Amino acid sequence: MGKTVFITGASSGFGKACVSIFAKNNWDLLLSARRVDRLKDLQDEFGQITNVHIMPLDIRIKEDVHNAILNVPEEFKGIDLLINNAGLALGLEPAYKSDIEDWEIMVDTNIKGLMYCTRFILPNMMKRNKGYIINVGSVAGNWPYPGGNVYGATKAFVKQFSLNLRADVSGTKIRITNIEPGLAETEFSIIRYKGDVEQANSVYEGTKPLTADDIADIVFWVANSPEHININRIEVMPVCQSWGPFSVEKDSDE
């Protein structure tokens, strides 16, 4: 029998790239996103080679997530892999200038949405004593940078939540991995800059960033690693990205 993967945020970026690689390797697809038209396009494209069920869904709404998972068609209920990919960054202002609503959206999506999907899918994995949860975190959860404030904090949550999940399922055959990408050229910056394409493109000028396919390849490799192996976390950056020095501010009159 084939395997089933549930991918959140499937309509673009890492999620869409994961849809492609898993479909081409004969996994059945459960796909969620808010943009219905894009989900239908994915269903039309990949429904010719594998089974695809789409779920237009805002993962910030707990009841909708619960109902969607409860009403998954019978042939998709045995979810082998959950890819918690849906997430976003909004704004790059310092904390004292940030829009509090942007903070709330990031918390609701990156933390609560991930929690809801995990909580409602994990019990069936426990019952079957099999399954894999791959969370898409970020290097921002490990390394602070100006303007990263709440976004980085949400991804630090993803990192710790992944570790704690692994502790909770200890003794079972369920695996948990956190994938932490660095600079990657997707729609991420366009969303962060609220549709300002020019400003978003400037982020990648003069660089060779990661691509969505790079991350999808890593996710697929992790998902197909031997069943006795648990990869706790993978942090991945392009060669052009690294760490900065410590910041030491000195008084200007000294």
**For residues 135 and 223, what is the distance between their CA atoms, to the nearest angstrom?**
12
**For residues 41 and 25, what is the distance between their CA atoms, to the nearest angstrom?**
19
| Contact criterion met (CB below 8 Å) for 224 and 80 | no
Cβ atoms within 10 Å of 77's Cβ, excluding its own: 13
**Maximum Cα interatomic distance, the chain, rounded to a whole number of Å:** 72
| Contact criterion met (CB below 8 Å) for 131 and 79 | yes
The encoded tokens of residue 116 equal: 């809801």
Amino acid at 127: K
Catalytic residue numbers read 151
